[in-house]
Amino acid sequence: MNIAILFGGSSFEHEISIVSAITMKKVLKKSTLTYIFVDANREFWLVDTEKINSKLFSSGEYKKGKQLTLKKGGFFSEGMFGSKQVGFDVLLNLIHGRDGEDGKVASLMEFYGIPYISPRLEASALSYNKLYTKYLAESLSVKTVAYEHLRKNGERKISMAYPVIVKPVRLGSSIGVSIVKSESELDYALDVAFEFDRDVIVEPFLEGVKEYNQAGCLTDAWELSIVEEPHKEEFLDFEKKYMDFARDAQVLAADISDETREKIRESFKKIYDPLFRGSIIRCDFFVVDGEVMLNEINPIPGSMANYLFEDFEGMLGRLAKHLPKEPEIKIDYKYIHSIQQAKGKA
């Protein structure tokens, strides 16, 4: 299978996307990979798979490659003898944050008729925004951590007890996130968060909480990863998550009861189906006193959470054969023709 890896983007998580894309070369050993880079100006570039490394992008050397144009059916390079299409079977969206997770890529792929693995438009909109994720989970009877929503130009008061955690609504990778232990620290934490977003959510910082990650997708059957208990620090900052996104070796399953594992998996299934069909997502859950609560949805997880699966590459191939398709709408102009006939202009 030939897989196009789309990565980069105009995003605070641009560099993390590069790390995830390079990791795929180590993971997808049986597939042919075609790398398509989206630079900060949202221009598309074909990248030599053999030469891909982080310096290629930081130095600007990627511009020595072919610039691509997006048209009906795929990506094309323009040359002296016309357009030449870049061949691949399916595109894997690996743009983290804005552009990749907010629905722009999904919209482009649908519009131009390109088969792609990624959340669709509605799923992207709901999972990219942490506030909307809360609404989604509530509608599905999946419990979440309590929260308060603050706006950039609004009042800076919260009613919950300290310590709390402050998060920009539309960012991942712990960018702009702060733990606030007293009221005197709140203003500074909000200043940091509002540098990245006009909305933030504030949640209680739960001491000693158990955190578990569940990834998966739906092909002709459920394909669920192991449940992982991630390495727990006070929280993973940007640098630690940056390294975390380069993981390519399978990790061990969490030592939890069958009952807890099943609760996590049932919550994951409620969130995934049908909204996230066509994608591989990871959900992060908290377990407090035996109660499972959704923390976050990772619609495009770092390095696609490959390290949680026994047969990630095989699953990717199976998913590529079970992508949702837009219904075809036949345009026949019957209405316009009937108007013309009524006016005697047929």
> What mean pLDDT do residues 309-332 have?
95
How high does pLDDT run on average in the chain? 91
- 80 band by pLDDT with thresholds 50, 70 and 90: confident
Q: What percent of the chain has pLDDT over 70?
A: 93
Residues 19-54 have pLDDT tens digits of: 999 999 999 999 999 999 999 999 999 999 999 999
Rg of the chain on CA atoms, in Å: 22
**What CATH number has the domain spanning 125-144+207-320?**
3.30.470.20
Domain boundaries, the chain: 2-118, 125-144+207-320, 148-204
- 237 band by pLDDT with thresholds 50, 70 and 90: low
Distance CA 245, CA 228 (A): 15
- Three-class SS state of 146: coil
Residues 282-320 have pLDDT tens digits of: 999 999 888 999 999 999 999 999 999 999 999 999 999
pLDDT of residue 209: 87
pLDDT of residue 206: 85
Identify the architecture of domain 2-118 in CATH: 3-Layer(aba) Sandwich (3.40)
**With 70 as the cut, is the pLDDT of residue 271 above it?**
yes
**With 70 as the cut, is the pLDDT of residue 228 above it?**
yes
pTM over 0.85: yes
**With 60 as the cut, is the pLDDT of residue 234 above it?**
no
> What mean pLDDT do residues 144-172 have?
91
Q: Cα torsion at 303, 307, 310, 316 (round to 10°)?
A: -10
| Chain-centre distance for alpha carbon 227 | 19
Same fold for the pair 125-144+207-320 and 148-204: no
Residues 107-116 have pLDDT tens digits of: 999 999 999 9
Residues 175-222 have pLDDT tens digits of: 889 999 999 999 999 999 999 899 999 999 988 789 999 999 999 999
> What mean pLDDT do residues 170-174 have?
73
Distances (CA, A) of 204 to 1, 177, 200: 45, 13, 13
pLDDT of residue 231: 74
pLDDT of residue 232: 62
Fold assignment, 148-204 = Dna Ligase; domain 1 (3.30.1490)
pLDDT of residue 233: 60
Picking from 186, 188, 152, the residue whose alpha carbon sits closest to that of residue 168 is 152
